[in-house]
């Protein structure tokens, strides 16, 4: 495929923006004593709505069409399904490798993480959260980058959705480190750097996938990305929004995310 340097640059900028949104979470943590559960539930629902709508309506549907043109309707549909569920399997494997407490998507509130505990335990928790976030965010960076290469609107939408759900992850990293060290700068820096797994994923995609990129391969990648994002939405974003105890707000956010994406794609 003929991809310009401007498209590649735009893809890297979007993944960098999405990843470094963890820094926003740090700022929220340092200037608030309690979690704004209404905001978090609504924003996480919105992020899930964007991801689910893009995945099912745009990415997977276009993969079916493109692969059908290359391999025939039925084989193409089977390839698209295989890639979709393969993406889900990858996301499940990554999630399985991280223990429950170290999983950054397990719900934690500011006041929970601020409770007095031994400093070395808090520091260990923060570092483990940062590592876990890096592992989770790596495929998200690849997804954002590859989407941005062919459709800037899809790339921007995915980047925004990923950025929103990276905000609570930034809180998860920075709060225990801050309470262990008393150093806001250090906590912010480590939280900020944990988001660099997103552009690192984009870099890997650029180095190893771009030379072999073809319409058929890209369609398969899109189907796999759809699977990853659907799993993230149902396994992480929506349960987390529910755990904040704002059921209706999370659903309103979900519907709003889908509506925004429907209008954006129809424009």
Convert the pLDDT of each residue in 138-151 to its tens digit: 777 887 888 888 77
Residue 110, pLDDT > 60, answer no
CB of 113 within 8 A of CB of 34?
Answer: no
Give the mean model confidence (pLDDT) for residues 108-112.
51
User: 32-36, 90-94, 240-244 — which is least confidently predicted?
Assistant: 32-36
pLDDT, tens digit (0-9, with 9 covering 90-100), for 159-182: 888 888 777 777 767 776 776 777
pLDDT, tens digit (0-9, with 9 covering 90-100), for 196-227: 888 888 888 888 877 777 888 888 988 988 89
CA distances from 203 to 9, 82, 111, 146, 166 (A): 11, 25, 37, 11, 19
Entry pTM = 0.68
Helices (H) and strands (E) in the chain, counts: 13, 0
Q: What does the pLDDT read at residue 119?
A: 57
User: 16-20, 43-47, 108-112 — which is least confidently predicted?
Assistant: 108-112
Secondary structure of residue 236 in the 3-state scheme: helix
Q: What does the pLDDT read at residue 68?
A: 93
Enclosing H/E stretch for 120: helix 119-150
3-state secondary structure 199-210: HHHHHHHHHHHH
Where residue 84 falls among pLDDT bands split at 50, 70, 90? Answer: very high
Give the mean model confidence (pLDDT) for residues 42-57.
85
Residue 85, pLDDT > 90, answer yes
User: Mean of the per-residue pLDDT values for the chain?
Assistant: 79
Rounded Cα distance between 96 and 103, Å, is 10
Residue 195, pLDDT > 50, answer yes
DSSP class per residue in 101-124: TT-TTS---HHHHTS---HHHHHH
Q: What does the pLDDT read at residue 205?
A: 83
Q: What does the pLDDT read at residue 30?
A: 66
Domain ranges, ordered by start, for the chain:
5-266
Where residue 107 falls among pLDDT bands split at 50, 70, 90? Answer: very low
Q: What does the pLDDT read at residue 35?
A: 56
Q: What does the pLDDT read at residue 255?
A: 93
Enclosing H/E stretch for 96: helix 73-96
**How much of the chain exceeds pLDDT 70, in percent?**
79
Rounded Cα distance between 80 and 142, Å, is 18
Where residue 129 falls among pLDDT bands split at 50, 70, 90? Answer: low
Rg for the chain, CA atoms, rounded: 18
């Amino acid at each position: 495929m003929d991809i310009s340097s401007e498209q590649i640059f735009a893809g890297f900028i979007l993944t960098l923006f999405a990843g470094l949104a963890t820094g926003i979470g740090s700022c929220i943590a340092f200037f608030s004593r309690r979690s704004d559960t209404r905001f978090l539930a609504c924003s996480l629902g919105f992020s899930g709505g964007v991801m689910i709508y893009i995945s099912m309506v745009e990415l997977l549907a276009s993969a079916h069409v493109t692969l059908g043109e290359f391999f025939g309707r039925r084989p193409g549909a089977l390839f698209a399904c295989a890639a979709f569920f393969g993406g889900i399997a990858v996301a499940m494997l990554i999630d399985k490798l991280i223990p429950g407490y170290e999983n950054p998507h397990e719900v934690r509130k500011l006041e929970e993480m601020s409770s007095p505990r031994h400093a070395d335990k808090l520091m260990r928790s923060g570092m483990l959260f940062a590592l876990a976030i890096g592992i989770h965010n790596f495929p998200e960076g690849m997804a954002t980058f590859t989407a941005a290469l062919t459709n800037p609107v899809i790339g921007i939408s995915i980047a925004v959705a990923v950025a929103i759900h990276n905000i609570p992850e930034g809180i998860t990293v920075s709060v225990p480190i801050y309470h262990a060290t008393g150093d806001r700068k250090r906590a912010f820096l480590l939280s900020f750097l944990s988001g660099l797994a997103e552009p690192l994923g984009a870099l890997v995609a650029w180095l190893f996938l771009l030379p072999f990129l073809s319409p058929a391969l890209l369609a398969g990648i899109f189907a796999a990305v759809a699977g990853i994002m659907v799993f993230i939405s149902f396994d992480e974003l929506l349960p987390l929004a529910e755990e904040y105890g704002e059921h209706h707000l999370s659903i309103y956010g979900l519907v709003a995310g889908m509506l925004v994406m429907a209008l954006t794609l129809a424009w």
